[in-house]
Structure 1
Amino acid sequence: MTAFADHDAYIAAAPEALRPLLVHLRAQLARALPDAEEIIRYDMPGFAAGGSVIAGYAAFSKQCGLYVSGGAISACSDAIAAAGLKASKTGVKFSPNKPIPDDLIAALALSSRKELGV
């Protein structure tokens, strides 16, 4: 497994078709969490504050994932379903054919931060 130095290195190593999604997701997370620090944890890029990872993201062969707290997924479950996206306990999957809406990115990030208390 490759160890990534930063978000740029992670995005550069992702499948080419997913890179624009990752660049956009990173920008939206940075906008929603302006005082959070960009980190790499578990070989995934993310945003942290107060020692807690608020949100992380990853690319796979054909899709991406946004990972937040379980409470954030629960709090935004209706919006996730309305966007036609699939969610796990802590993540939302999306693809170039079905990107995650900007308002949902912000809602998930802010809800995760609130649940974590950071």
Structure 2
Amino acid sequence: MNHDPRIDAYIARQADFARPILDHLRAAVHAACPEAEETLKWSAPAFLYKGEQLAMMAAFKAHATFGFWKGSLVVPDDEKQTGAMGQFGRIGSIADLPETSVLAALIRKAMALTDAGVKPVRTRTAKAPLPMPDDLRRALDGNQAAAATFDGFSPGARRDYVEWVTEAKQAATRERRIAQAVEWMAEGKRRNWKYEKC
């Protein structure tokens, strides 16, 4: 088995309830997928298969989680998934997991998806537009170039400016941000223009 000592250390420092769960999950992955490689992703144990992420596990204060990278393609969506990341909800004991044979079949299903070149399904939910602050709208109305730029932005780019202005805690900060926003938009710049590739 390809054991990573960082995973040993991760498991060792978890709460008493979590260690047996993590050991059980680790053993299940290696039993069903002997080629699995261990690593850390986002500071949590992850399992790779043929260089692609297969599954992850993590422990928290009162529960553990386990999930497949290809998520609902492996395990259909379920109500208990909403309480925690992964496909098995909040795991408080080994009894909260599927039987060993069922878990092994799911791991093999995830492997088969990787073998077939299937990519994970990622859905994006569009955020609702934020209401335009009156003071920002007045400032834009006073600068035709800035207003045209703002109105031509994508919803996300408009949201970036609106959030930046509305998150100011003091009136003076808000006024400075509005002035800066109008200046940048008059130049055709997005809120985070400094970080955009030329």
Indicate the structure with greater helix content.
Answer: 2
CA RMSD of aligned residues (A): 2.5
- State the distance in 2 between where 1:22 and 1:97 align: 9
Contact residue 73 and residue 90 of structure 1 kept, 8 A: no
Q: Runs (4+) of structure 1 moved beyond 6 Å?
A: none
Structure 1 residue 21 corresponds to structure 2 residue 21: yes
- State the distance in 1 between where 2:32 and 2:110 align: 11
Deviation, 1:91, is: 2.5
Q: Structure 1 38/97 Cα, relative in aligned 2: closer, same or farther at 3 Å?
A: closer
- State the distance in 1 between where 2:94 and 2:29 align: 20
Task: Report the counterpart of residue 96 of structure 1 in structure 2.
Answer: 93
Which of 91, 103, 106 pairs up with 2:104? Answer: 106
- State the distance in 2 between where 1:24 and 1:35 align: 17
Task: Report the counterpart of residue 55 of structure 2 in structure 1.
Answer: 55
- State the distance in 1 between where 2:102 and 2:57 align: 14
- State the distance in 1 between where 2:102 and 2:33 align: 14
- State the distance in 1 between where 2:37 and 2:63 align: 25
- State the distance in 2 between where 1:19 and 1:36 align: 20
Identical pairs, percent: 27
TM-score (norm 1): 0.76
Q: Structure 1 67/97 Cα, relative in aligned 2: closer, same or farther at 3 Å?
A: closer
TM-score (norm 2): 0.48
Which of 92, 112, 115 pairs up with 2:113? Answer: 115
| Higher RCO (CA < 8 A, seq sep 6+) | 1
Secondary structure at the counterpart of residue 88 of structure 2: strand
Indicate the structure with greater strand content.
Answer: 1
- State the distance in 2 between where 1:67 and 1:12 align: 20
Matches within 5 A, 1:64-79: 64-68=64-68, 69-70=70-71, 71-74=73-76
The superposition leaves residues 72-92 of structure 1 with CA deviations (integer Å, 9 ceiling, x where unpaired) of 122xx6xxx7xxx92258422
Structure 1 residue 86 corresponds to structure 2 residue 83: no
Deviation, 1:103, is: 2.2
Secondary structure at the counterpart of residue 91 of structure 1: coil
Q: Which runs of 5+ in 1 are unaligned?
A: none
Deviation, 1:98, is: 3.6
